[in-house]
């Protein structure tokens, strides 16, 4: 039995057929904000935002009180504060988010070994083998919600369904602090009234394409002739959306996840015009990507550069390597060459990103030669030093100069206007990796 309140929230309140619904999607409620409120209980019930305030800072998380004003994550903080001027803004605490994430994931792993983390605050669980010890899927979901609240003080929402896709939709419908079971026999009836944006992978552009041909609900997509759907979104996406619209999702819960790509990007508080400064930022991003590759035991065959100008024009360039690498120097050299011709002549750069793609496990496949052997040895030595003394203990000289210049600018601002918040934008990607 489920009920729906005056909003779109829908939760299970009584007995329900969960015999064929072994997949759980657990999603922490406003995770970053909720962790902050554990040490700031006086802010409960108030609109709270986590994110950066300087320049082009963005909202990393918003409390449900703030969301009532139309504020959401990834929104520019300047717009969020226009919509909700009385919001309390907090800078964020990466180590605390990482620690609470580990505590929550340990609870999941005590229920079932089949846990697939999606991010720092959500995961899929397959409880097929846990029924004899822990009860039915619905009982397990109730138990998880209770344990998370008792052991961490945080709340979560859980979707229970026959497939990963439907479970994820259900957890979203149950937010905040709810649980929704979708019986296997009711999958189609549950999905078809939902807007097309509920289909996994449908963003704003795809949604507009579907609406142009009169498709506004999942049911509309399910009943659309295949050839018309193909003309709207292409054959591959049309086939996937048609399957999802009927609740067809064959993917299993995997306990290990192979990264398809690893990347870092930076939006600047003001547009950059100096090529030297731009390449210095590129060096920092390349180093961050290389560290993550080595931690994951992966190497990349392709390096991609993303560049966004002050007028929001966005370019991407990719370079394929002769041999895969996890070395920052090689990643920087390739990205820097891709950057040639894209800056200078007054170009104003708003964002830079570096991404490693076409990944494989390090050490797989025979290399004819290793062009980065010396640099690789040096960077692995730096990794060992960083593990003991911190990542800033050893850095390229250019990055030391970069930090010194930033500190001089901060000091100048302090002298002119008094103390202010740090000007580093909040990076939710850093939080996701515990950096």
Q: Indicate the annotated binding residues for Mg(2+).
A: 27, 121
- How far does CA 319 lie from the centroid of its chain? 25
Distance between the two ends of the chain, CA-based, in angstroms? 43
Peptide bond into 239 cis (omega under 30): no
Is the distance from CB of 144 to CB of 32 less than 8 angstroms?
A: no
Question: Is 139 among the catalytic positions?
Answer: no
State the pairing for strand pair 59-62/48-51.
antiparallel
Angle of CA points 176, 151, 387, to nearest 5° = 100
3-state secondary structure of 299: strand
Binding site: residue ranges?
27, 121
Q: Count CB neighbours of 49 within 10 A.
A: 29
Nearest to 316 by CA among 339, 336, 334, 293: 339
d(CA 372, CA 286): 15
Q: Count CB neighbours of 357 within 10 A.
A: 16
Hey, what are 195's tokens? 């807007």
Long-range contacts made by residues 195-204, C-beta under 8 angstroms, separation at least 24? 196/220, 196/221, 198/169, 199/241, 199/244, 199/245, 200/165, 200/168, 200/244, 201/237, 201/240, 201/241, 202/241
d(CA 10, CA 2): 7
Hey, what are 307's tokens? 């560049």
d(CA 428, CA 435): 10
Tokens 């709270």 belong to which residue? 48
Catalytic residue among 122, 281, 334, 379: 122
d(CA 274, CA 276): 5
Residues taking part in catalysis: 122
């Amino acid at each position: 039995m489920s009920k729906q309140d005056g909003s779109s929230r829908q939760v299970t309140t009584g007995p329900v057929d969960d015999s064929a619904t072994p997949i759980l999607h657990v999603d922490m409620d406003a995770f970053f904000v909720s962790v902050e409120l554990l040490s700031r209980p006086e802010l409960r019930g108030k609109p709270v935002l986590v994110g950066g305030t300087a320049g082009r800072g963005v909202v990393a998380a918003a409390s449900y009180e703030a969301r009532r004003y139309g504020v959401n994550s990834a929104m520019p903080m300047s717009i969020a504060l226009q919509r909700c001027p009385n919001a309390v803004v907090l800078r964020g605490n990466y180590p605390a988010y990482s620690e609470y994430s580990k505590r929550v994931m340990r609870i999941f792993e005590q229920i079932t070994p089949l846990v697939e983390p999606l991010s720092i605050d959500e995961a899929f669980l397959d409880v097929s083998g846990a029924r004899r010890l822990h009860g039915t899927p619905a009982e397990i979901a109730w138990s998880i919600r209770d344990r998370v609240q008792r052991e961490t003080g945080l709340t979560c929402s859980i979707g229970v369904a026959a497939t990963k896709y439907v479970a994820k939709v259900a957890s979203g419908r149950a937010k905040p602090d709810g649980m929704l079971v979708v019986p296997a026999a009711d999958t189609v009836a549950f999905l078809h009234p939902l807007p097309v944006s509920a289909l996994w992978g449908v963003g704003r552009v795809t949604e507009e394409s579907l609406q142009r041909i009169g498709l506004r609900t999942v049911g509309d997509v399910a009943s659309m002739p295949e050839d018309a759907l193909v003309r709207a979104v292409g054959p591959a996406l049309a086939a996937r959306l048609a399957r999802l619209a009927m609740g067809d999702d064959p993917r299993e819960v995997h306990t290990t996840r192979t990264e398809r790509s690893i990347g870092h990007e930076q939006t600047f508080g003001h547009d950059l015009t100096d090529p030297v400064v731009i390449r210095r930022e590129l060096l920092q991003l390349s180093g961050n990507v290389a560290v993550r590759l080595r931690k994951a035991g992966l190497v990349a065959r392709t390096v991609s550069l993303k560049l966004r100008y002050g007028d929001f024009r966005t370019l991407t360039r990719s370079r394929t390597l002769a041999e895969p690498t996890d070395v920052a120097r090689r990643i920087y050299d390739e990205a820097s060459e891709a950057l040639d011709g894209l800056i200078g002549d007054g170009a104003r750069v708003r964002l830079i990103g570096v991404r490693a793609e076409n990944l494989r496990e390090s050490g797989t496949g025979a290399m004819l030669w290793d062009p980065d052997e010396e640099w690789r040895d040096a960077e692995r030595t730096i990794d060992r030093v960083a593990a003991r003394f911190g990542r800033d203990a050893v850095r390229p000289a250019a990055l030391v100069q970069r930090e010194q210049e930033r500190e001089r600018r901060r000091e100048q601002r302090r002298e002119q206007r008094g103390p202010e918040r740090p000007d580093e934008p909040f990076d939710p990607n850093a939080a996701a990796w515990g950096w």
